[in-house]
Amino acid sequence: MAARVLDGTAVSRSLLESTAERARTFADSAGRPPALATVLVGDDPASRTYVKMKRSRCARVGIASRAVELPADTSTERLVEEIAALSADPAVDGILLQHPVPGQIDERAAFEAIAPGKDVDGVTMHSFAAMAFGEPGFHSCTPGGILRLLDAYDIGLAGRRAVVVGRSPILGKPVGMLLLARDATVTYCHSRTVDLAEVVREADVVVAAVGRPELVRGEWIKPGAVVVDAGYNPGNVGDVEYAAAAERAGHITPVPGGVGPMTIALLLEQTVQAAEAKG
């Protein structure tokens, strides 16, 4: 029996509707809409497309967007100065630094220049600590979006074995923390993992977040498992061998239309949340 598709496009639509309503309410009371600043360094076509898409979504839900574009040869110091200025600007509620940034930039230093109350993409160490300790704060958008998608389909996590393939600081690591907070038993896999296939075969929940096309083979999937593909590679290919995995899984996310729409929806929701918290 084929897996049930976890439709991130449909679920995100409902989330965007509620976010738009909250944005209208905020604008009525504050006299201005919530505002998101997007920071783009360089001319990477994919990054430019992503920023354009996020700004378009902002307009649809009533969030003002401010575009900050810097040349590809920008230094870490210059970028940190720009982000610090946005952090201090009362007219800005959230800050998104589009990543990856050019190689000469210390990306972590740039992320840490974002004020915690404006880290609506959930990329700072402050936000990671809040996720890890279960304290109030912003979730990394893709991990947070994944949990919201699972919740929309009433997928229980307590007591289930979750395998996260990937350990990036804004995807793999935080999604593991969020799964752990839901009482899943979490295993992280990475490039040094011995016999990845055998580890994945034991998983009730698989989150693929490594950025390698079809690394996770369909034959590895435990029958009835939940498969979340957070990868996106050229040609609309995820990190999971979709067709084969869908024959074995109980639930699976498509690429595109699964995790991606949830990521953007959570970013916008958290921008409104940041505006509301400032009052």
Residues 6+ apart with CB under 8 A from 232: 238, 255, 256, 260
CA 245 vs CA 38, 138, 143: distances in Å:
36, 32, 21
CA 185, 152, 20, 111: dihedral to nearest 10 degrees? Answer: 20
Which residue has 């947070």 as its token pair? 144
**Residue 64, H or E segment:** strand 64-70
Residues 6+ apart with CB under 8 A from 200: 163, 165, 189, 206, 216, 220, 221, 222
121 is catalytic: yes
Q: Is 54 a catalytic residue?
A: yes
DSSP letter string, 212-256 = -TT-B-GGGSPTT-EEEE---BTTTB-SB-HHHHHTT-SEE--TT
Is 90 strand, coil or helix?
coil
Catalytic residue, candidates 93, 118, 119, 121: 121
Residue 273 bears catalytic tag: no
271: nearest Cα among 50, 63, 21: 63
Fill in the DSSP letter of residue 168. -
Are 148 and 264 a contacting pair, CB within 8 Å?
Answer: no
Q: What are phi and psi of 45, to 5 degrees?
A: -60, -40
Query: Pick the catalytic residue: 93, 98, 119, 173?
Result: 98
Task: List, by residue number, the catalytic residues.
Answer: 54, 98, 121
